[in-house]
Amino acid sequence: MKIAIPNKGRLQQPSLQFLSSVGIKPLATDERSLIVPTSWEGVQLVLMRTEDIPNLVENGAADIGITGMDYVIESRADVEDLIRLDFGKAKISLAVPLSWNISDVSELKREIKIATKYYNIAREYITRKNINAKIVKISGAAEVMPSLGAADAIIDVVSTGTTLKLHGLKEIDTVMETYATIIGNRYWLKSEEADKINLVLTMMKGALSARGKKMIFMNVKDKDLEKVLASLPAMLAPAISKLSKSDAWEVITVVNEDCLPEIVAKAMIAGAKDIVILGIEKVIR
Ligand SMILES: Nc1ncnc2c1ncn2[C@@H]1O[C@H](COP(=O)(O)OP(=O)(O)OP(=O)(O)O)[C@@H](O)[C@H]1O
Ligand SMILES: O=P(O)(O)OC[C@H]1O[C@H](OP(=O)(O)OP(=O)(O)O)[C@H](O)[C@@H]1O
Ligand SMILES: [Mg+2]
């Protein structure tokens, strides 16, 4: 089975970290090698340009791939959108020179030139918004184009807004939200390796569901059990088991990390003692 991942750039390290969390770790080979065996037998990583991954997954060069949603849309590749990831989050936005003093697309009056590497996304956007514009297709460094006179405005990736500011530009509209995603070849279910691909996807979903979740263990006296159970959330319901030596119970449940302080406080008031909190690696549903 082949998994396409970015060969450089923003998404590469988080992609490797994510794969490592499901037990897929690249085995050391020549660092220039673009096909890399992994610790999971039969699973290979294929290193490719982030923007090429949608088309390469569409035509079956890789079974699944990690790339940005922006490139999935831009490429128009016919792939399956399988799992949304929690990195590579940004906006693709329309930005104009600050000196224009405008804050909305409705204030654009004359025809403008927009520099972008997202030609298809930009085309669809200006048609949808009825904006009078020509598109200048470039392959990067869009922010510098207005100051060079190569374009009036840009459609590009914005995260903190620092790059726009640095180039005297101002975001006036969001074209789309983007994030890293796992895409799959449409026919992966018919692949001889469908079972393996399915298992990899299940482990990936398990790792994502486990993010931000903790397991809590606590000891509770018989008399306090009802009150403690009532104070606890759970996936289904908290588990209880009788302690061997006293008139007490061990109570176990899974909670969101964000709610931990509140849950611990309530459980302690209800009588819970000896609270142990553990991280969770995977939640497979
Ligand atoms: N500042 C950012 N914050 C979050 N995600 C980003 C940011 N810049 C780019 N991305 C996302 O990362 C993915 C890869 O971006 P991009 O093609 O710009 O490659 P890169 O990682 O910047 O490498 P390079 O530009 O050197 O090829 C895209 O899906 C893009 O939306
Ligand atoms: O809003 P910001 O936080 O400034 O992020 C936006 C910038 O991030 C990306 O560039 P990157 O840093 O990946 O460098 P690149 O120009 O080499 O692609 C993108 O192309 C923008 O230029
Ligand atoms: Mg970049």
Ligand nearest to the CA of residue 12, numbered in listed order: 1
Please check the confidence at residue 167 and state whether its pLDDT lies above 80.
yes
**Quick one: fold of 90-177?**
D-Maltodextrin-Binding Protein; domain 2 (3.40.190)
What's the pLDDT score for residue 181? Answer: 98
The arrangement of strands across the sheet holding 44-48 comes to 35-37, 44-48, 2-6, 64-68, 180-185, 79-84
pLDDT value for 41 = 95
Q: CB-side exposure of 192: number of CA atoms within 13 Å? A: 3
Q: Helices 194-210 and 12-21, interaxial angle, to 10°?
A: 100
pLDDT tens string 6-58: 999 999 999 999 999 999 999 987 778 899 999 999 999 999 999 999 999 99
- Which CATH architecture best describes the domain 2-88+180-209? 3-Layer(aba) Sandwich (3.40)
Q: Does the C-beta of 71 come closer than 6 Å to ligand 1?
A: yes
Tell me what pLDDT residue 133 has: 98
Q: State how far the Cα of 40 lies from the Cα of 184, in Å rounded to an integer.
A: 19
- Residue 157 Cβ inside 6 Å of ligand 2? The answer reads yes
Inter-residue contact 77 to 57 (CB < 8 Å):
yes
What is the pLDDT, as a whole number, of residue 203?
Answer: 96
The yes-or-no answer to whether 2-88+180-209 and 90-177 have a common fold is yes
Ligand 1 within 6 A of 59 CB?
no
Which amino acid is residue 156, in one-letter code?
D
Instruction: Considering every ligand atom shown, identify the ligand nearest to the alpha carbon of residue 68 and give its number.
Output: 1
Predicted TM-score (pTM) of this structure: 0.91
Per domain, the residue ranges of the chain are: 2-88+180-209, 90-177, 212-279
Residue 245 pLDDT class (50, 70, 90 cuts): confident
Note the pLDDT of residue 47. 96
Q: With CA atoms as reference, report the closest residue to 61 among 193, 198, 185.
A: 185
Question: What's the gap between Cα 181 and its chain centre?
Answer: 6
Retrieve residue 264's tokens.
């611990």
Task: Kindly state the average pLDDT of the residues 147-172.
Answer: 97
Residue 227 CA to ligand 2 center (angstroms) comes to: 52
Which DSSP symbol is given to 31? T
Q: Which atom of ligand 1 is nearest to the CA of 180?
A: 29
CATH code of the domain made up of 212-279: 3.30.70.120
Could you identify the atom of ligand 1 that is nearest to the CA of residue 92? 31
pLDDT, residue 33, reads: 82
